[in-house]
């Protein structure tokens, strides 16, 4: 059975890119939210195996969405990986502090991205 991934990403070109990459991998089924609020709504009835969380989003940023998920007992076990163009140590630390299990910098390199997904989903 395909592993379910929820991508939370406000930027359309980035969404299209991730959809394109994951389309080549039938072992994963990608679901997409365009905002943090939409992601939280989806999670009321959907339990993905992994969440890919853009950090920079308007209204509710990825750190706030991650904190909300991690403070909800039914959702707190879902691994969340941060996606960001920033790769300063302090950015990574903020994501880990918010509850992310890992950090992927954009633009992604496809091979490394797929390896990372595999690692975070099985962990």
The residues binding Mg ion (CB under 5 A) are: 10-11, 54, 56-57
Nearest CB to Mg ion, comparing residues 3 and 38: 38
Nearest CB to Mg ion, comparing residues 9 and 43: 9
- Distance, in Å, from the CA atom of 63 to the CA atom of 66, rounded to the nearest integer, reads 5
Nearest CB to Mg ion, comparing residues 86 and 118: 86
- Distance, in Å, from the CA atom of 48 to the CA atom of 46, rounded to the nearest integer, reads 6
The angle subtended at Cα 41 by Cα 35 and Cα 46, nearest 5°, is 110
- C-beta nearest to Mg ion: residue: 56
User: C-beta of 18: minimal distance to Mg ion in Å?
Assistant: 12
User: C-beta of 36: minimal distance to Mg ion in Å?
Assistant: 10
49, 3 contact by CB (below 8 A): yes
């Amino acid at each position: 059975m395909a592993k379910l991934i929820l991508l939370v990403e406000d930027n359309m070109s980035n969404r299209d890119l991730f959809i394109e990459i994951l389309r080549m991998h039938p072992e994963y089924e990608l679901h997409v939210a365009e905002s943090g609020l939409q992601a939280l709504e989806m999670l009321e009835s959907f339990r993905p195996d992994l969440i890919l969380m853009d950090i920079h989003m308007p209204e509710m940023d990825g750190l706030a969405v991650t904190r909300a998920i991690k403070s909800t007992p039914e959702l707190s076990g879902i691994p969340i990986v941060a996606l960001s163009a920033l790769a300063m140590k302090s950015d990574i630390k903020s994501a880990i502090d918010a509850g992310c299990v890992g950090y992927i910098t954009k633009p992604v390199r496809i091979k490394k991205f797929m390896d990372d997904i595999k690692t975070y989903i099985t962990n």
